[in-house]
C-alpha cells in the first residue's frame, strides 16, 4: 500500500500562487494584465500598474512625471498623457524641450505621418521631409512653429516674470492655444496641462527649438530672461510642500535622460544642498530600455538612487523598474490605470509655484538662522 504523500505542494510560506486564466474575446487591458502578466518583464509591468492604481493614485500623493525622448510625435501625448492629466493623475511634469515643441505643430495644421526607418534621408531632405525614426513631418512645420513661438513670446514677454522659469514659458503657449484655437486645445499637451493647472518644466531649455527661438529673440533685442535655477526651486517646492504636510511624493519616469534626473534631484536639493530634513521620494516607477551596468543615469536603479538620498530607503518595496519600450508600455499602463482608478481633484500647482517656492526659501533661511544662533 502506497504511503500518503504529506508534502505541502503549495507555495512556500505565504507566497501568492500564480493563477493565469484563459484570455477571452472582449477582455479589457486591465483584465488581460491580471490574467496573463505574472513573471519576468511582464511581471514587473503588472506590479507597476498595481502600485500606481492601489497606492499612488491617492489624494495625499503628489505625482511628478518625467518625459524623455520624443514621445509626443509618437502620439503618446494625445493618447496617454492628456487622459492622465484630465483624470488628475499628473501633478507636475518635466519634459525634454523636443516633446513640447512638437506639441505645437498640430495647432498650426501639421500632422505627423507614417514613415519608415530605412528611408533615404538624403532624398527626404530634398523633398522637405523630417524623419523621427519611422515618423515623417513636413519641414515647413518647423518654420511655421518657429514663427509661432517667437510671435507668442513677443506678444507676451511683458507679462512674464523677470526672470522667468520654463514653466512660465510653457504656460504662455498653453494659454494662447486655449484662447486662439479652442477647438484644438484638447489635443495639445501644453493646453490641457495649463487648463488643469499642471506646471510643465524642461530640464535643459537651451537644448531645444523653443530655446533656439528664445535665443533669436535676444538677437532681436527682445530678450526673455529664463532662470533655470527658478525651475530647480519650483519643482523642489512641489516635493517639499507635500512631504511637509505629511503626504507622499511619487515619480513616474517615462524613459531616462535629463528629465529623470531633474525630477529625482529634488530630494538631494532638499537634503544635501538646503540641509532640510527629508528622506526621499516614496514611490518610484520607471519604464526604460536602458541597462544599469553601463553606468548611465537612464538605467540607474531605485536602489542606487537610495545612496544619493533620492529615494527613501524604507520605500524600496514601492519602487518598480519595468524594462521595455516606453512607447509600447505607456498605452497599456494608461488603459489599466483609467479602468481601475477614480479621477482625482487637480492639485493646480501651476498657480501655487511662487507660494511653494517662498515656503521653501523661508524654511531654508530659518534653518540657516537657527544654525548661527
Catalytically annotated residues = 310
Q: Using CA atoms, how far apart are residues 95 and 139, in angstroms rounded to an integer?
A: 23
What proportions of the chain, in percent to the nearest 5, are helix, strand and coil? 55, 10, 35
Beta strands in 145-228 (DSSP E): 200-202
Give the CA count within 13 Å in the CB-facing half-sphere of 84: 28
Pairing of strands 113-114, 135-138: antiparallel
18 φψ region: left (φ > 0), alpha (ψ -120 to 50), beta (else): beta
Q: Using CA atoms, how far apart are residues 312 and 307, in angstroms rounded to an integer?
A: 9
Full DSSP string of 62-96: EEEEEE-TTTTTTTHIIIIIHHHHHTT---EEEE-
Sheet bearing 113-114, strands edge to edge: 113-114, 135-138, 129-132
Q: Using CA atoms, how far apart are residues 107 and 369, in angstroms rounded to an integer?
A: 51
Cell of residue 244, nine digits: 511637509
Q: Using CA atoms, how far apart are residues 22 and 36, in angstroms rounded to an integer?
A: 8
Amino acid at each position: 500500500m502506497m504511503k500518503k504523500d504529506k508534502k505541502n505542494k503549495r507555495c512556500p510560506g505565504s507566497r501568492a500562487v500564480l493563477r493565469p486564466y484563459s484570455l477571452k474575446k472582449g477582455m479589457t487591458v486591465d483584465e488581460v494584465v491580471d490574467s496573463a502578466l505574472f513573471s519576468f518583464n511582464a511581471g514587473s509591468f503588472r506590479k507597476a500598474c498595481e502600485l500606481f492604481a492601489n497606492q499612488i493614485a491617492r489624494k495625499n500623493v503628489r505625482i511628478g512625471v518625467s518625459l524623455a525622448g520624443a514621445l509626443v510625435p509618437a502620439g503618446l501625448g494625445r493618447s496617454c498623457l492628456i487622459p492622465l492629466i484630465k483624470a488628475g493623475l499628473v501633478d507636475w511634469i518635466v519634459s525634454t524641450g523636443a516633446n513640447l515643441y512638437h506639441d505645437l505643430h498640430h495647432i498650426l495644421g501639421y500632422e505627423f505621418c507614417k514613415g519608415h526607418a530605412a528611408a533615404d534621408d538624403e532624398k527626404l531632405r530634398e523633398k522637405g521631409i523630417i524623419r523621427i525614426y519611422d515618423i515623417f513631418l513636413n519641414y515647413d512645420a518647423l518654420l511655421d512653429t518657429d514663427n509661432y513661438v517667437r510671435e507668442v513670446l513677443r506678444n507676451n514677454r511683458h507679462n512674464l516674470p523677470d526672470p522667468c522659469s520654463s514653466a512660465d514659458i510653457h504656460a504662455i503657449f498653453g494659454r494662447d492655444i486655449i484662447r486662439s484655437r479652442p477647438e484644438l486645445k484638447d489635443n495639445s499637451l501644453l493646453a490641457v496641462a495649463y487648463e488643469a493647472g499642471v506646471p510643465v518644466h524642461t530640464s535643459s531649455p537651451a537644448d531645444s527649438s523653443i530655446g533656439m527661438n528664445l535665443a533669436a529673440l535676444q538677437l532681436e533685442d527682445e530678450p526673455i530672461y529664463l532662470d533655470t535655477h527658478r525651475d530647480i526651486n519650483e519643482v523642489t517646492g512641489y516635493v517639499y510642500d507635500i512631504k511637509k504636510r505629511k503626504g507622499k511624493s511619487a515619480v513616474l519616469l517615462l524613459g531616462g535622460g535629463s528629465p529623470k534626473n531633474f525630477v529625482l534631484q529634488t530630494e538631494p536639493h532638499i537634503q544635501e544642498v538646503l540641509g532640510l530634513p527629508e528622506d526621499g521620494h516614496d514611490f518610484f516607477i520607471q519604464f526604460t530600455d536602458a541597462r544599469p551596468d553601463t553606468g548611465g543615469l537612464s538605467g540607474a536603479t531605485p536602489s542606487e538612487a537610495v545612496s544619493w538620498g533620492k529615494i527613501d530607503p524604507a520605500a524600496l518595496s514601492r519602487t518598480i523598474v519595468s524594462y521595455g519600450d516606453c512607447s509600447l508600455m505607456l498605452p497599456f499602463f494608461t488603459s489599466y490605470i483609467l479602468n481601475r482608478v477614480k479621477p482625482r481633484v487637480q492639485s493646480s500647482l501651476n498657480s501655487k509655484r511662487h507660494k511653494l517656492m517662498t515656503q521653501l526659501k523661508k524654511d531654508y533661511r530659518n534653518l540657516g538662522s537657527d544654525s548661527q544662533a
